[in-house]
Amino acid sequence: MMKQDEIFMHQALQMACMGQYSARPNPLVGAVLVRNGHVIAKAFHAQAGKGHAEKELFSQYAGTMEDATLYVTLEPCSHFGRTPPCVDEIIARRIKRVVIATEDPNPKVNGKGIQRLKEAGIDVTVGVQRAEAISQNAGFFLRMLENRPFVRAKVAMSLDGKVAMHSGESQWITDVPARESGHLWRARSGALLTSCETVSKDNCQLTVRHPTLPSLLPKQIDFHPPLKVILDRTLKIPASARILQHTKVLLAVGHGLSEQKKQHFLSQLPAYHQVKIVEFPLENNHIAFGAVLQCLAELEINDVMIEAGPTLLTGLLQSKQIDELLIYIAPSLMGANTLAMQSLEFSSLSDVLRGDFSEVKTVGKDIEARMLISDWARTNNAIIKNTQEFVCSFIP
Amino acid sequence: MMKQDEIFMHQALQMACMGQYSARPNPLVGAVLVRNGHVIAKAFHAQAGKGHAEKELFSQYAGTMEDATLYVTLEPCSHFGRTPPCVDEIIARRIKRVVIATEDPNPKVNGKGIQRLKEAGIDVTVGVQRAEAISQNAGFFLRMLENRPFVRAKVAMSLDGKVAMHSGESQWITDVPARESGHLWRARSGALLTSCETVSKDNCQLTVRHPTLPSLLPKQIDFHPPLKVILDRTLKIPASARILQHTKVLLAVGHGLSEQKKQHFLSQLPAYHQVKIVEFPLENNHIAFGAVLQCLAELEINDVMIEAGPTLLTGLLQSKQIDELLIYIAPSLMGANTLAMQSLEFSSLSDVLRGDFSEVKTVGKDIEARMLISDWARTNNAIIKNTQEFVCSFIP
């Protein structure tokens, strides 16, 4: 049996999920106001620049709060960021008690908000559903604590491990619902990363295409497409590639590329392009992936999703730089002779790589499974699962 | 909303499941007696030679049945088999109404039971939950209608399609709960089939080893281990192989093997062996699998489960002789260099082979999925799923 605090914090975590397609780079935050065992207001953070969950809640409810308890999934902020500090308003409203799931790892907050509330004489409880709250914002926590985003790699394969490699809708292995689910995972990501090789083979766009995404967004909130990141050591990508169009692209190239080559490439692009070339150091003749992740963290990316072929995937698995595999498995056997398929052959994996399934379900005709690989992700296994159940139960 | 007849037939189907480890070669049958909307007795068929579901029900309930409705998942028998005909007793008990899920495909019954009941003036309804009832006894129906058992093939693999091939507990890919679930699937099978090659590599026993199987059996019912079938065209299996011990073994060899070779082989076995050598015609230098299936049907095998390496599997998939793949997927990537692993390379599959997942769940750390392949199995997809849910909801 869950205690009362846990029940209401669960509701706050569910509220937080409402911002899952729009809150980034900010963390998901939900808040619930309770009096005499009844929820009297609830709110969430919808988008950077919009009100924090606490502020949204206060804008809904004007009555007295002196006998109320505020449940909030992340420590209220104590600093002036894009908006003024929430603790000031909580104190001004004379709320009796504040229950907080977890401290904010942001060094600008990190306990200072809790301290301010306590100094104002408010009864503060910290740590209710802490694990759930941390894993709900896994990418944000990793960015704050380790200066890198959460790295998710998507793979769609047949049951015998064959991966579609060439473009054309007919080459899709999985069915429409699985592909739509993949688009929702794109929508949750701050960046989508692929390789020049994959772009050359697939001419993929990495756009978010989902028929009902607008209805999943909070009201009056626009969707910001994720940044596209392309690993292209020697700048071989064709300037005509579709992925370079319309949205922001970071072209990650190797150190030492001539200025002339870069300028020539950019001059080939149409005038409205939003392509930026960034140089990275090399490791074993490859772009140092850790440096790319650090760069993405500095661009406030919480979650990056890799959609690339087995070559890049194998390298990143080998160097233990993937937190989670998002796997779609079709009910099909492709055989060895099937055209346009590449085997999921992790040929350079020297050791067996073990993980944990965090969520397994059918999406249309296919299986969607998440396999947690990194120690960080595996430690939070059970918790991410719970958070997902919230998503399922909450969104109608 | 389910109608009243459907609700009670569901209960009868649930009852039938209680015999899933013991009723073979007989079909699973459940019966429920209802008066004024209340269940007054329920029963199932536990084992061949024991009472049919209807008989068991009558032995429980001695009161009048003139105003009662009997729900039974299979047409009551009208012939003397191992037990006297059930229709006689139903008529003698003056039951007012009988609801039957499906006709018995057994040519000895096949509508005659229904006809007898109607002739006796009983109100008979046929076809409530028919699809569920048929797929609950898929193997029995196939044996009656097509003179072959339902063919299930088990595969345990890593996420990148690697299959353990050599023996030793350390070589197991999947974890204990998945392996135990595999043993329950063995227990449901009338026969387990493998190849001489697999036996030579694995020295597998194909015994049913499950810690709580005795508690899943009906009271006072013994478990009969499935028949072991080994495809061994030229009789190469070592006489010392563990699989030849203790239980019944059918050694399927190719036509034309010398009597001397067979006698010599049998003479090497210990005195208590139960090994029988049966010759089969060859097709493309392999034992004709269709002939083996026909032989198994004549031995009253409803369900055969194949546990063999990718070579045999590929051949049977290619010739479309597998109804269902039972797949266990571990949360691991094995890489190409892992010792003692074989890739699930369906190299001779010339076409893409598509199926339907009928049930996907996690069992311990692993995924268990059933992929229906044959037209027969795919046609009954949704229904088998429902039946499984009964199993889950009924067994505490």
List, in order of start, the domains of chain B with CATH numbers: 1-136 (3.40.140.10), 148-380 (3.40.430.10)
Predicted local distance difference test score (pLDDT) of residue B171: 59
Reply yes or no on whether the pLDDT at A396 is more than 50: no
Higher pLDDT, A84 or B134: B134
Reply yes or no on whether the pLDDT at B167 is more than 80: no
Report CB contact under 8 Å: A348, B355. Answer: no
Q: Show the CA angle centred on residue B151, arms to residues B146 and B157, nearest 5°.
A: 165
Predicted local distance difference test score (pLDDT) of residue B82: 72
Of B269, B216, B258, nearest to B394 by C-alpha is B216
User: Any binding-site annotation on B196?
Assistant: no
Q: At what angle do helices B381-394 and B4-17 cross, to 10 degrees?
A: 70
Give the number of beta-carbon pairs within 8 Å between A and B.
Answer: 112
B161, B332, B352 ranked by CB distance to A352: nearest: B332
Query: B179 CA to chain A: closest CA distance, Å?
Result: 17
Range name among A141-145, A295-299, A335-339, B137-141 with the lowest pLDDT average: A335-339
- Residue of A6, A54, A259, A324 marked active site: A54
Report CB contact under 8 Å: A346, B335. Answer: yes
Best residue in B311, B324, B343, B346 for a mutation probing chain A (most A CBs within 10 Å) = B346
Range name among A194-203, A289-298, B62-71, B81-90 with the lowest pLDDT average: B81-90
Predicted local distance difference test score (pLDDT) of residue B263: 95
Predicted local distance difference test score (pLDDT) of residue B201: 82
Reply yes or no on whether the pLDDT at B391 is more than 50: no
| Contact map slice: B 141-160 vs A, CB within 8 A | 158-160
Q: pLDDT band for A109, please (50, 70, 90 cuts).
A: confident
Range name among A184-188, A305-309, B288-292 with the lowest pLDDT average: A305-309
Query: B162 CA to chain A: closest CA distance, Å?
Result: 9
Q: pLDDT band for A359, please (50, 70, 90 cuts).
A: confident
User: Any binding-site annotation on B324?
Assistant: no
Contact status of A325 with chain B (Cβ, < 8 Å): yes
Predicted local distance difference test score (pLDDT) of residue B390: 39
Report CB contact under 8 Å: A353, B335. Answer: yes
In the predicted model, what is the mean pLDDT of residues B241-269? 94
Q: pLDDT band for A362, please (50, 70, 90 cuts).
A: very high
Closest CA in chain B for residue A163: B160
For strand B123-126 and strand B97-100, is the pairing parallel, antiparallel, or unpaired?
parallel
**Residue A94 in 3-state DSSP?**
coil
Active-site residue set of B: 54
Contact status of B339 with chain A (Cβ, < 8 Å): no
Reply yes or no on whether the pLDDT at B113 is more than 90: yes
Predicted local distance difference test score (pLDDT) of residue A68: 94
Predicted local distance difference test score (pLDDT) of residue B347: 52
Predicted local distance difference test score (pLDDT) of residue B381: 60
Predicted local distance difference test score (pLDDT) of residue B327: 94
Q: pLDDT band for B349, please (50, 70, 90 cuts).
A: low
Report CB contact under 8 Å: A347, B353. Answer: no
Q: At what angle do helices A4-17 and A381-394 cross, to 10 degrees?
A: 70
Reply yes or no on whether the pLDDT at A166 is more than 70: no
Report CB contact under 8 Å: B354, A337. Answer: no
Backbone angles phi, psi at B21, to 5 degrees: -105, 0
Query: A169 CA to chain B: closest CA distance, Å?
Result: 16
Q: Verify whether residue A359 is a known catalytic residue.
A: no
pLDDT digits (tens, 9 = 90+) for B309-335: 878 888 888 888 999 999 999 998 876
Token readout for B366 is 């692993």
In the predicted model, what is the mean pLDDT of residues A228-256? 94
Q: pLDDT band for A278, please (50, 70, 90 cuts).
A: very high
Higher pLDDT, A25 or A376: A25
Contact status of A340 with chain B (Cβ, < 8 Å): no
Q: pLDDT band for B272, please (50, 70, 90 cuts).
A: confident
Report CB contact under 8 Å: B345, A159. Answer: no
Range name among B31-45, B311-325, B364-378 with the lowest pLDDT average: B311-325
CB A165 within 8 A of CB A202: yes
Reply yes or no on whether the pLDDT at B351 is more than 70: no
CB A219 within 8 A of CB A365: no
**Residue B187 in 3-state DSSP?**
helix
* Rounded distance between C-alpha atoms, residue B180 and residue B182, angstroms: 5
Reply yes or no on whether the pLDDT at B343 is more than 50: yes
Residue spans of beta strands (DSSP E) within A84-141? 97-100, 123-126
Predicted local distance difference test score (pLDDT) of residue A118: 96
Report CB contact under 8 Å: B335, A350. Answer: yes
User: Which distant-in-sequence residues (6+ apart) come within 8 Å of A126 by Cβ?
Assistant: A75, A99, A100, A102, A103, A114
Tell me how far CA of residue B227 lies from CA of B190, B235, B321, in angstroms: 6, 18, 19
Reply yes or no on whether the pLDDT at B1 is more than 50: no
Predicted local distance difference test score (pLDDT) of residue B203: 86
Contact status of B168 with chain A (Cβ, < 8 Å): no
Reply yes or no on whether the pLDDT at B396 is more than 50: no
Q: Give me Rg for the CA atoms of chain A.
A: 22
pLDDT digits (tens, 9 = 90+) for A41-93: 999 999 998 889 999 999 988 888 889 999 999 999 988 777 778 999 999 99
Reply yes or no on whether the pLDDT at A23 is more than 50: yes
Mean pLDDT value across chain B: 87
Closest CA in chain A for residue B358: A365
- Exposed/middle/buried for A374, CB within 10 Å: 0-12, 13-18, 19+? middle
Query: B372 CA to chain A: closest CA distance, Å?
Result: 9
Q: Show the CA angle centred on residue A27, arms to residues A21 and A33, nearest 5°.
A: 95
Reply yes or no on whether the pLDDT at B268 is more than 60: yes
Q: pLDDT band for A344, please (50, 70, 90 cuts).
A: low
Report CB contact under 8 Å: A334, B349. Answer: yes
Of A92, A91, A52, nearest to A72 by C-alpha is A52
Query: B353 CA to chain A: closest CA distance, Å?
Result: 5
